[in-house]
Amino acid sequence: MDKVNVIAPAKINLSLDILGVDERGYHLLDMIMQTVSLFERVTVSKKEKDITLSSNARYIPTDSKNVAVKAAMLFFEYTGIQGGAHIHIKKTVPIKAGMAGGSADAAGVIVGLDKIYETNLTRQQMCEIGAKAGSDVPFMIMGGTKRVQGVGEIIKPCPPMPRCYLVICMPDKGVSTPAAFANYDTLGEKTLVETDKLVAAMEENDIYGVAKYMANDLEKAAASEYTQPIKEELIQQGAIGSVMTGSGAAVFGVFDDEDKAKAAVEYFRGRVRSVFIAKPVGFGATIAKDRPRRR
């Protein structure tokens, strides 16, 4: 096989709790992360040498500054294979949204290279490669509902997120992840994040409990003037809970009714840069033909 198509889901954070800083200066986190049905599409083709990248999005780098290219370099380094690849990324996930679109691309590259080079890596081995590319990449390989700790390297299973509909709003301006964390350090102001209660709600398959305990320590630090207004409007449109994802700037609302979710999407069209309706999915980067049809 010389070419493979991979679908790579975006993620949302149901919670993000900053626990401190390690000796390297990295923030230690405790998060509930969830992949959703908003997909990047990554095509990986075998080449004799070199790593090249193309995309429908002109704004992303095509050299080693792109985490997908970095992931390919790390794959060849890890496996010792003398080879190359061309990567084509069809982007859907907005950048600077806190949805890990770039990390999803990197995860897709690792999964795709494993397939075309027939290395038969375990998911754990793929995660080892991914961790060197970026802190979110291991989760984007694993996918589903997970409790992610440390700097992203500790991934624990969680009960699946209850069935629901997600309306995801991306405002006009994105948020820089390093800037959000730096601002958090300056502010020193925590949000109450009750991760254990959130997990307990999922164990009970209680979507209302999940919505109640969603929280994000970075909401204030992201300093996006759009976050609070979008949260309020999502609730007004029928969401049972709303929170910013990751370091922002995207904000999502949880809906228990599909019609209300669809109506909210129509409400936000033209009011935000982009709006999506999605569902939780139970997988990470996956060869397209192997995609699970049901969660």
Residues carrying an active site annotation: 11, 136
3-state SS assignment for residue 21: strand
Counting beta carbons within 10 angstroms of the beta carbon of residue 272, is it exposed (0 to 12), middle (13 to 18) or buried (19 or more)? buried
Residue 226 — φ and ψ, nearest 5°?
A: -90, -20
3-state SS assignment for residue 271: coil
Residue 64 in tokens:
């080693």
Could you give the C-alpha distances from 86 to 73, 180, 186, 208, 274, in angstroms and in order? 12, 33, 42, 45, 29
Q: What is the DSSP letter of 280?
A: B
Give 251's Cβ-side CA count (13 Å radius): 27
Separation between Cα atoms, residue 96 and residue 207, nearest integer Å: 27
Counting beta carbons within 10 angstroms of the beta carbon of residue 270, is it exposed (0 to 12), middle (13 to 18) or buried (19 or more)? exposed
Decide: 111 and 6 in contact? Cβ < 8 Å: yes
Residue 249: asked if its preceding bond is cis (omega within 30°), the reply is yes
Element spanning 105, H or E = helix 101-116
CA nearest to 7, candidates 40, 53, 29, 35: 40
